Amino acid sequence: MIINRFLSELRLYFCNEWISKIPSHTIRVAYYKYFMGFNFGKHSTVLMRTTFDCARGLTVGNYSVINARCRIDTRGSITIGTGVSISSDVIILTADHEKDENGKKDRERPVVIHDYAWIGTRAIILPGVTIGRGAKIAAGAIVTKNVPPQTLVAGVPAKIIRTHEDEFCEQEDCKVYKRLFQ
Protein backbone atom coordinates (compact mmCIF):
# COMPACT_ATOMS: atom_id res chain seq x y z
CA MET A 1 0.00 0.00 0.00
CA ILE A 2 2.66 2.51 1.00
CA ILE A 3 4.97 1.38 -1.80
CA ASN A 4 2.16 1.80 -4.38
CA ARG A 5 1.47 5.34 -3.15
CA PHE A 6 5.18 6.13 -3.26
CA LEU A 7 5.49 4.81 -6.84
CA SER A 8 2.39 6.74 -7.90
CA GLU A 9 3.73 9.99 -6.44
CA LEU A 10 7.15 9.33 -7.99
CA ARG A 11 5.54 8.83 -11.43
CA LEU A 12 3.66 12.13 -11.05
CA TYR A 13 6.76 13.96 -9.81
CA PHE A 14 8.79 12.64 -12.75
CA CYS A 15 5.98 13.67 -15.14
CA ASN A 16 5.67 17.25 -13.87
CA GLU A 17 9.30 18.01 -13.01
CA TRP A 18 11.20 16.17 -15.75
CA ILE A 19 9.06 14.97 -18.64
CA SER A 20 7.14 18.24 -19.01
CA LYS A 21 10.45 20.04 -19.63
CA ILE A 22 11.76 17.73 -22.36
CA PRO A 23 11.66 19.61 -25.71
CA SER A 24 10.14 16.70 -27.63
CA HIS A 25 6.43 16.18 -28.34
CA THR A 26 7.07 12.52 -29.10
CA ILE A 27 8.76 11.73 -25.79
CA ARG A 28 6.23 13.67 -23.69
CA VAL A 29 3.15 12.18 -25.34
CA ALA A 30 4.67 8.68 -25.16
CA TYR A 31 5.23 9.09 -21.41
CA TYR A 32 1.72 10.48 -20.94
CA LYS A 33 0.23 7.52 -22.81
CA TYR A 34 2.26 4.66 -21.39
CA PHE A 35 3.06 5.78 -17.85
CA MET A 36 0.27 8.23 -17.00
CA GLY A 37 -2.50 6.28 -18.75
CA PHE A 38 -3.79 9.22 -20.80
CA ASN A 39 -5.49 8.68 -24.18
CA PHE A 40 -4.39 10.87 -27.09
CA GLY A 41 -5.82 10.99 -30.61
CA LYS A 42 -3.59 11.35 -33.64
CA HIS A 43 -1.65 14.59 -34.08
CA SER A 44 -2.61 15.89 -30.62
CA THR A 45 0.02 17.29 -28.33
CA VAL A 46 0.84 18.88 -25.00
CA LEU A 47 3.42 21.66 -24.97
CA MET A 48 6.15 22.04 -22.39
CA ARG A 49 5.69 22.69 -18.67
CA THR A 50 2.09 21.54 -18.50
CA THR A 51 1.43 19.79 -15.18
CA PHE A 52 -1.07 17.15 -14.12
CA ASP A 53 -2.61 16.44 -10.72
CA CYS A 54 -2.83 12.67 -11.11
CA ALA A 55 -2.47 9.79 -13.55
CA ARG A 56 -5.33 8.56 -15.73
CA GLY A 57 -8.53 10.46 -16.42
CA LEU A 58 -7.50 12.38 -19.57
CA THR A 59 -8.81 11.72 -23.07
CA VAL A 60 -7.81 14.01 -25.94
CA GLY A 61 -9.28 13.73 -29.45
CA ASN A 62 -7.46 14.13 -32.76
CA TYR A 63 -5.70 17.37 -33.76
CA SER A 64 -6.03 19.03 -30.35
CA VAL A 65 -3.38 21.01 -28.51
CA ILE A 66 -2.77 21.85 -24.86
CA ASN A 67 -0.33 24.75 -24.87
CA ALA A 68 2.49 25.50 -22.46
CA ARG A 69 2.24 25.87 -18.69
CA CYS A 70 -1.32 24.61 -18.26
CA ARG A 71 -2.48 22.89 -15.07
CA ILE A 72 -4.66 19.90 -15.83
CA ASP A 73 -6.44 18.31 -12.86
CA THR A 74 -7.51 14.86 -14.04
CA ARG A 75 -8.82 13.53 -10.70
CA GLY A 76 -12.44 13.82 -11.87
CA SER A 77 -11.64 13.10 -15.56
CA ILE A 78 -11.31 15.43 -18.52
CA THR A 79 -12.50 14.69 -22.04
CA ILE A 80 -11.23 16.95 -24.81
CA GLY A 81 -12.68 16.59 -28.32
CA THR A 82 -11.22 16.96 -31.80
CA GLY A 83 -9.60 20.18 -32.98
CA VAL A 84 -9.61 21.83 -29.55
CA SER A 85 -7.12 24.60 -28.78
CA ILE A 86 -6.25 25.23 -25.15
CA SER A 87 -4.03 28.32 -24.84
CA SER A 88 -1.10 28.80 -22.47
CA ASP A 89 -1.55 29.00 -18.71
CA VAL A 90 -5.10 27.60 -18.69
CA ILE A 91 -6.24 25.81 -15.52
CA ILE A 92 -8.79 23.01 -15.77
CA LEU A 93 -10.03 21.75 -12.38
CA THR A 94 -12.13 18.66 -11.73
CA ALA A 95 -12.02 18.47 -7.95
CA ASP A 96 -13.00 20.82 -5.13
CA HIS A 97 -14.36 20.78 -1.58
CA GLU A 98 -17.91 21.00 -0.34
CA LYS A 99 -18.83 21.75 3.25
CA ASP A 100 -20.96 19.16 4.94
CA GLU A 101 -22.14 18.76 8.55
CA ASN A 102 -18.75 17.28 9.55
CA GLY A 103 -16.54 19.95 8.01
CA LYS A 104 -15.62 19.51 4.39
CA LYS A 105 -15.91 16.79 1.81
CA ASP A 106 -13.85 16.32 -1.32
CA ARG A 107 -15.77 15.92 -4.56
CA GLU A 108 -14.76 15.24 -8.14
CA ARG A 109 -16.75 16.26 -11.22
CA PRO A 110 -15.72 15.68 -14.84
CA VAL A 111 -15.01 18.41 -17.37
CA VAL A 112 -15.97 17.89 -21.02
CA ILE A 113 -14.68 20.12 -23.83
CA HIS A 114 -16.42 19.37 -27.11
CA ASP A 115 -14.91 19.49 -30.62
CA TYR A 116 -13.41 22.71 -32.02
CA ALA A 117 -13.64 24.67 -28.77
CA TRP A 118 -11.04 27.36 -28.12
CA ILE A 119 -9.93 28.36 -24.63
CA GLY A 120 -8.02 31.64 -24.22
CA THR A 121 -4.90 32.28 -22.17
CA ARG A 122 -5.23 32.07 -18.39
CA ALA A 123 -8.86 30.99 -18.44
CA ILE A 124 -9.98 28.79 -15.56
CA ILE A 125 -12.48 25.97 -16.07
CA LEU A 126 -14.11 24.80 -12.83
CA PRO A 127 -15.27 21.25 -11.98
CA GLY A 128 -18.36 19.84 -13.67
CA VAL A 129 -18.35 22.24 -16.63
CA THR A 130 -19.17 21.19 -20.20
CA ILE A 131 -17.97 23.42 -23.03
CA GLY A 132 -20.05 23.06 -26.21
CA ARG A 133 -18.85 22.40 -29.75
CA GLY A 134 -17.13 25.44 -31.23
CA ALA A 135 -17.46 27.53 -28.07
CA LYS A 136 -14.84 30.20 -27.34
CA ILE A 137 -13.65 31.12 -23.87
CA ALA A 138 -12.04 34.58 -23.66
CA ALA A 139 -8.64 35.03 -22.05
CA GLY A 140 -8.84 35.31 -18.27
CA ALA A 141 -12.44 34.09 -18.03
CA ILE A 142 -13.51 31.94 -15.10
CA VAL A 143 -16.01 29.37 -16.34
CA THR A 144 -18.36 28.23 -13.57
CA LYS A 145 -21.29 26.95 -15.70
CA ASN A 146 -21.79 25.01 -18.91
CA VAL A 147 -21.07 26.91 -22.13
CA PRO A 148 -23.51 26.34 -25.04
CA PRO A 149 -22.15 25.43 -28.49
CA GLN A 150 -20.85 28.23 -30.72
CA THR A 151 -20.93 30.95 -28.09
CA LEU A 152 -18.27 33.34 -26.85
CA VAL A 153 -18.05 33.74 -23.09
CA ALA A 154 -15.92 36.21 -21.12
CA GLY A 155 -15.60 37.67 -17.65
CA VAL A 156 -15.50 36.64 -14.02
CA PRO A 157 -17.67 34.65 -13.79
CA ALA A 158 -17.92 33.98 -17.52
CA LYS A 159 -21.11 35.16 -19.23
CA ILE A 160 -22.29 34.77 -22.82
CA ILE A 161 -21.14 37.70 -24.96
CA ARG A 162 -22.53 36.51 -28.28
CA THR A 163 -23.15 33.50 -30.47
CA HIS A 164 -21.17 32.89 -33.63
CA GLU A 165 -21.23 30.74 -36.75
CA ASP A 166 -17.84 29.26 -37.51
CA GLU A 167 -16.77 26.80 -40.13
CA PHE A 168 -14.78 23.99 -38.62
CA CYS A 169 -11.93 22.26 -40.37
CA GLU A 170 -12.43 18.56 -40.85
CA GLN A 171 -9.90 16.29 -39.16
CA GLU A 172 -7.61 15.86 -42.14
CA ASP A 173 -7.53 19.63 -42.79
CA CYS A 174 -6.76 20.67 -39.20
CA LYS A 175 -3.23 21.80 -38.54
CA VAL A 176 -1.78 21.67 -35.05
CA TYR A 177 0.95 24.26 -34.65
CA LYS A 178 4.01 22.70 -33.08
CA ARG A 179 7.19 24.56 -32.32
CA LEU A 180 10.33 22.55 -32.77
CA PHE A 181 11.38 22.84 -29.12
CA GLN A 182 8.05 23.14 -27.36
Cα 49 to its chain centre, rounded Å, is: 13
SS3 109: coil
SS3 21: helix
Distances (CA, A) of 154 to 15, 58, 137, 180: 32, 25, 6, 32
Please report which residue ranges of 126-171 form alpha helices under DSSP H. none
Work out the number of other CB atoms within 10 angstroms of the CB of residue 162.
10
State the catalytic residue, choosing from 25, 43, 97, 164. Answer: 97
What is the Cα–Cα distance from 45 to 23, expressed in whole angstroms?
Answer: 12
What is the Cα–Cα distance from 23 to 15, expressed in whole angstroms?
Answer: 13
Our answer to whether residue 43 is catalytic in this structure is no
- Residues forming the active site: 97
